[in-house]
């Protein structure tokens, strides 16, 4: 695999992580759902359940391990 392809694989993984929603973040606007935001019609904090957090972490670990193995890092 070429350096450019390796870099793109890593960039895809980083983009995936950056799209995740954090605890109490508004899924609609990406800002704190705890603070008022009249510009966001669906503004509310996202409540991450323990099950969702666990599934997300498990998925990220699996994907990261595949990436490491595939890129021989």
3-state secondary structure 32-59: ECCCCCCCCCCCCCCCCCHHHHHHHHHH
What global pTM score does this model have?
A: 0.77
Q: Burial letters for 2-34: b for 16+ Cβ neighbours within 10 Å, e otherwise? A: eeeeeeeeeeeeeeeeeeebeeebbeeeeeebe
Query: Looking at residues 32-43, what average pLDDT do you find?
Result: 97
Local confidence band at 7 (pLDDT 50, 70, 90 cut-offs): very high
Q: In the structure, what pLDDT confidence band is assigned to residue 69 with cuts at 50, 70 and 90?
A: very high
Of 23, 41, 44, the residue nearest 33 (C-alpha): 44
Give the pLDDT confidence of 49-62 residue by residue, as tens digits. Answer: 999 999 999 999 99
Task: Please identify which residue in the block is written with the tokens 């008022």.
Answer: 36
């Amino acid at each position: 695999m070429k350096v450019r392809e390796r870099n793109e694989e890593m960039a895809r993984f980083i983009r995936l992580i950056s799209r995740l929603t954090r605890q109490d973040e508004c899924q609609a606007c990406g800002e704190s759902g705890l603070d008022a935001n009249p510009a966001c019609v669906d503004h509310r904090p996202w409540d991450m359940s323990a099950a969702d957090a666990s599934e997300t972490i498990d998925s990220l670990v699996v994907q990261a391990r595949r990436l490491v193995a595939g890129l021989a890092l």
